[in-house]
Amino acid sequence: MKANVGGIDKFLRIVVGMALILWAILGGPAWAWLGVLPLATGVFNFCGLYGWLGINTRKES
């Protein structure tokens, strides 16, 4: 797995993921647990769909 998520993309994935999970915990709809997906892709810097589509938002150093 080569890292392909970075910068603002990573930040937004983590924030949105945590917000959706918090919403689910506080009684939101069950689908809000899907926030685990953007959170995981942000934390692990890898998105399978990005890899498949050839997208890379991570700056190579």
Which pLDDT tens digit goes with each residue over 8-30? 999 999 999 999 999 999 999 99
Task: Please report whether residue 60 resides in a domain.
Answer: no
pTM of the model: 0.90
- The answer to whether residue 33 sits within a structural domain is yes
Percent of the chain surpassing pLDDT 70: 98
Number of structural domains found in the chain: 1
Structural domain boundaries, residue 20: 7-52
pLDDT at 61: 64
**How far apart, in whole angstroms, are the C-alpha atoms of residue 9 and residue 4?**
10
Residue recorded with tokens 């647990």:
33
3-state secondary structure at position 18: helix
**pLDDT at residue 60, rounded to an integer:** 80
Q: What pLDDT does 1 receive? A: 84
Indicate whether 57 belongs to any domain. Answer: no
Alpha helices (H) along 1-61:
7-25, 36-44, 48-53
Does the residue 44 lie in any domain? Answer: yes
